[in-house]
Amino acid sequence: MFVNFRRVSKCQLLTTGLLLCTLMVCWEELDHHVVSHIRSFTYRYLVDRYDFDTLPQPGAIISYPSYLINHPRKCGGGRDRERGLADILLLLFVKSSPENREQRQAIRNTWGNESFARSELGASVTVLFALGVHHDAHERASVQAALLQEDWEHQDLIQQDFLDTFHNLTRKLILQFQWAHEHCHWACFLMSADDDVFVHMPNLVRYLRQLQGTPSKAPKDVWVGHVYRGSPPVRRKGNKYYVPPDLYPWVSYPDYTAGAGYVVSGDVAAKIYRAILVLNSSLHIDDVFMGMCAKAMGVAPRGNVYFSGQAKALRHSCVYGHMITSHGHAAADMRSLWRATTDPGVKRQSGGLYCSMMRLLLLCRPYFQNTYPCAAAFA
Ligand SMILES: *[C@@H]1O[C@H](CO)[C@@H](O)[C@H](O)[C@H]1NC(C)=O
Ligand SMILES: *[C@@H]1O[C@H](CO)[C@@H](O)[C@H](O)[C@H]1NC(C)=O
Ligand SMILES: *[C@@H]1O[C@H](CO)[C@@H](O)[C@H](O)[C@H]1NC(C)=O
């Protein structure tokens, strides 16, 4: 009896210990997504069997909408390029909508400021806004007039002739890769970001240079962001992300990066563009479609904990030294975060033991919080 009891309690101890360990290790898996995570990981191995090339594609080469606003020479090109003056580190497309003028202005004044990137970071970054036409027929003319005025002032809008709606997001994705192919295929990196995303430009540039290694070498096979692995398509009608089986018949999506913000190297951008030319682009969820293109071309995404999906960065100087993107910022928020993160005092503070401890305390909580995962504290 006594021996038995001892065995049981040892066993219990061991189990409790193991459970605790699992809890610690899988911290961020234990958030409210737990069910969908388990399900999608079960499906995930199936993805490799999908062959997106075999989708019906009678009209293979899609016809592109025409440009309403364009700046073909924004990336240098022509003479500049011949003389080697057009070495673009990053072409950054912000997915915007005609009416979001305030967001665009906040981005221009903060992280999207090309002169800041040039003078403070020594990097040539081109920031452009990708747009369709206003969805409301009654307001379209006045919104378009305002857009033309805005573009006259800033020369940074790229607009194609399609309705700017949620269900047309894949057209906006195609716009970006098409434009990059036509007018900026020499850029080292291409990034796509939403207009409510904050990009920590100094950290991003530093990270891209790390990826690049030698400055003169073209980076290869880079696709980095917040990775969703084997998520299942939403089959509940009425949900914003509902996808009927005839649009996407398989049980899980290929791995893809959250459309909120991701980066690809020039060679990957070219591959995606080649896939866009032949794949059926009727799936309106743009980041998933991008994942299908990448899958068809044999490109796999790489995760970076400081690229957010839905996550918002914590307002703390110890996080500012590492953050790359943060999601869900209105214009005023964007400006105040930019002021906070570019404050010269922050840089001095963000290294060291104190900040390592602070990040652990801030990011590793036993409940879901909409910010960077616990793993980011160790990155
Ligand atoms: C693309 O797929 C959709 C839905 O599966 C289908 O209705 C459409 O005909 C396809 N288009 C082409 C060009 O194959
Ligand atoms: C962009 O940054 C430069 C250099 O830091 C600064 O002089 C300029 O005022 C900024 N422009 C905008 C629109 O904020
Ligand atoms: C997408 O844009 C096209 C071209 O403007 C338009 O005909 C179509 O209705 C739009 N689709 C949606 C779902 O808004």
pLDDT tens sequence across 283-335: 999 999 999 999 999 999 999 999 998 889 889 888 898 999 999 999 999 99
**CATH 1.10.3210 is the classification of domain 67-303:** no
Show the low-confidence residues of the chain (pLDDT under 50): 1-3, 5, 28-32, 54-56, 58-60, 85
Separation of alpha carbons 178 and 171, rounded Å = 10
What backbone torsions phi and psi does residue 262 show, to the nearest 5 degrees? -150, 160
- Asked if residue 193 lies in contact with residue 260, where contact means CB atoms within 8 angstroms, the answer is yes
What pLDDT does 54 receive?
43
What pLDDT does 352 receive?
82
Residue 375: strand, helix, or coil = helix
**Kindly report the CA angle at 356 between 352 and 357, in degrees rounded to 5?**
120
CA 159–ligand 3 middle distance (angstroms): 14
Q: Whose CA is nearest to atom 8 of ligand 3?
A: 163
Tokens of 158: 């790229």
Domain limits, CATH 3.90.550, in the chain: 67-303
CA 155–ligand 1 middle distance (angstroms): 36
In ligand 1, which atom is closest to the CA atom of 281?
A: 1
Separation of alpha carbons 132 and 67, rounded Å = 9
In ligand 3, which atom is closest to the CA atom of 65?
A: 4
Mutate to test the pocket of ligand 1, among 248, 279, 282 (most ligand atoms within 8 A of CB): 282
What pLDDT does 9 receive?
65
60 lines ligand 1 (CB under 6 A): no
Q: What distances in angstroms separate CA 319 from CA 177, 206, 278, 297, 350, one per listed residue?
A: 32, 16, 42, 35, 7
Please state the pTM of the whole predicted model: 0.86
Q: Give, for 354, the enclosing helix (H) or strand (E).
A: helix 352-363
Separation of alpha carbons 44 and 193, rounded Å = 26
Q: Which residues pair with 263 in a beta bridge?
A: 191, 224
Q: Which residues line ligand 2 (CB under 6 A)?
A: 108-109, 113, 115-116, 119-120
- Asked if residue 178 lies in contact with residue 64, where contact means CB atoms within 8 angstroms, the answer is yes
For 227-243, how does the pLDDT look when each residue is reduced to its tens digit (9 = 90+)? 999 899 999 999 999 99
Q: Which ligand is the nearest neighbour of the Cα of 115?
A: 2
What pLDDT does 20 receive?
60
Mutate to test the pocket of ligand 1, among 62, 278, 280 (most ligand atoms within 8 A of CB): 280
In ligand 3, which atom is closest to the CA atom of 162?
A: 5
CA 269–ligand 3 middle distance (angstroms): 25
What pLDDT does 2 receive?
45
70 lines ligand 1 (CB under 6 A): no
Q: Which residues pair with 131 in a beta bridge?
A: 159
